[in-house]
Amino acid sequence: MYNEIGEKIKRLAQVSCIIGAVGSVILGIAMLDEGIDAGVGVILFCPLLFFISSWITYGFGQLVDDVHKLAQNKGGIHQENEDIKGKIDTLKKWKQEGLITETEYINKMEEM
């Protein structure tokens, strides 16, 4: 239910914009039928207001998605750094034990 919440927020923004715009056009037409001149304003401006206000909700959903991706990447970078540290420690140990030469050690370090 709470997985991929950013995508759900963005979908909610789109759906509410469409429902609000269609509903305001219907309301405006009903107002015109009743002889209320404000119906034209409702038909013209309310869909625009729903569209613009949906940007805020959609932007929040995008922000949630982006923060989630950054958090995932940070975890991946941390693991990658730990892997590199482990490789460096192994190379140092091999060099100290004489299993690899200084030249091999330097070449392996440059490859990383």
The predicted structure's pLDDT at residue 81: 64
Average pLDDT over every residue of 83-92: 78
Q: Which residue has the tokens 């997985």?
A: 3
How many structural domains compose the chain? 1
CA atoms of 12 and 62, how far apart (whole Å): 12
pTM, full prediction? 0.62
What is the CA 27 to chain-centroid distance, rounded? Answer: 35
Mean pLDDT of the chain: 86
* Band of pLDDT at residue 75, cut at 50, 70 and 90: low
Please report which helix (H) or strand (E) contains residue 34, including its range: none
CA atoms of 36 and 64, how far apart (whole Å): 43
CA atoms of 77 and 31, how far apart (whole Å): 59
pLDDT digits over 41-64, tens only?
899 999 999 999 999 999 999 999
What range defines the domain where residue 70 resides?
Answer: 5-111
pLDDT digits over 15-35, tens only?
999 999 999 999 999 999 888
Q: Is 78 a residue whose pLDDT tops 70?
A: no
Nearest to 48 by CA among 69, 68, 28, 30: 28
* Band of pLDDT at residue 76, cut at 50, 70 and 90: low
Tokens describing residue 103: 């030249």
Cβ–Cβ under 8 Å, residues 31 and 38:
yes
CA atoms of 19 and 23, how far apart (whole Å): 6
Average pLDDT over every residue of 67-76: 78
Tokens describing residue 108: 């392996």
Tokens describing residue 61: 């959903």
